[in-house]
Chains A and B, each alone.
Chain A
Amino acid sequence: MVMTQSPATLSVSPGERATLSCGASHSMSNYLAWYQQKPGQAPRLLIYGASTRATGIPVRFSGSGSGTEFTLTISSLQSEDFAVYYCLQYNNWPGTFGQGTKVEIK
């Protein structure tokens, strides 16, 4: 299963909304997770099951979608949210990651 993320780079001002997309090459169940990665760090789980926030994740992060199109929305970007975001499908083994979306300061 190929996962395609768009855009590759998203320039957003602090306080603005960010919408990240992840498309699957085949229709899948909601076995979709989102991760945030900052330079030199491991990815951090944000969302699983397409829409369930992981423990401790702020409510400004939300996930949605089904079938082949999934979305991560950050409602009001904070300074600590500027990072690279990856989607992961775990519908089958091996899970596959998208190529990432870099959210940068506008």
Chain B
Amino acid sequence: QVTLRESGPALVKPTQTLTLTCTFSGFSLSTDGMCVGWIRQPPGKAPEWLARIDWEDDKYYTTSVKTRVTISKDTSKNQVVLTMTNMDPLDTATYFCARIDTTKGYFVDYWGQGTLVTVSS
């Protein structure tokens, strides 16, 4: 059974750095074809990809956040970490951890439940 769970602060101040951890089970990021990424969804809006990391440690970032975001993995702990610098109130959103099994296609097949991050002073 595949599960993903996000953890991190619910509230950050403007200009601070956000660090979110995704802890997953039911698959391994060392298995060919597996990817884990981060997607955010501002209140009332559509989801938006931020970053993904794959089984070969290749990393992909969305252009709009590329200079502020870093994604990394700890395969032994089944964790993926996202850091986002210089947070702004416009970054207020629910942040989802998501799995892609590229042997089926580059779409998300499993999502975490999401964690709401509010950026406010």
Number of B positions contacting A (CB below 8 A): 19
A94 to B62, Cβ gap below 8 A?
yes
Tell me how far the C-beta of A45 lies from the nearest C-beta in chain B, rounded to whole angstroms: 6
1/0 per residue B33-59: CB within 8 Å of A?
000000000000111110010000000
Q: A42-B113, A42-B114, A98-B46 are in contact. Are A49 and B105 (CB under 8 A)?
A: yes
B111: A residues at CB distance < 8 A: 42-44
Chain B residues with Cβ under 8 A from A33's Cβ? 105, 107-108
- In the complex, what distance in Å separates the CA atom of A33 from the CA atom of B108? 9
The answer to whether A31 touches B113, judged by C-beta atoms less than 8 angstroms apart, is: no
Which residues does chain A contribute within 8 Å of B105, judged by CB atoms? 31, 33, 48-49, 90
What's the least CB distance linking A51 to chain B, in Å?
A: 12
Interface residues of B in 60-117 (CB under 8 A from A): 60, 62, 96, 104-109, 111-114
Q: Find A95's partner among B49, B104, B109 (CB 8 Å cutoff).
A: B49
Size bin of chain A's contact surface: 20 to 34
A-B contact count, CB below 8 Å?
Answer: 51
Main secondary structure of the interface of B (DSSP, over half): loop
Q: How far is the CA of A51 from the CA of B116 in the complex (A)?
A: 32
Query: When the two chains form their complex, are residues B107 and A93 in contact, meaning their CB atoms are under 8 A apart?
Result: no
A-B contact pairs, 27 of them (CB 8 A): A31-B105, A33-B105, A35-B108, A41-B113, A42-B111, A42-B114, A43-B108, A45-B107, A48-B104, A48-B109, A54-B109, A86-B46, A86-B47, A88-B107, A88-B108, A90-B105, A93-B52, A93-B106, A94-B49, A94-B60, A95-B49, A95-B107, A97-B46, A97-B47, A98-B46, A99-B45, A100-B46
Beyond A45-B107, A95-B49, A97-B48, 17 additional pairs, beta carbon < 8 A: A31-B107, A33-B107, A41-B113, A43-B108, A43-B111, A44-B111, A45-B109, A48-B105, A88-B108, A93-B49, A93-B52, A93-B106, A94-B60, A95-B107, A96-B49, A99-B45, A100-B46
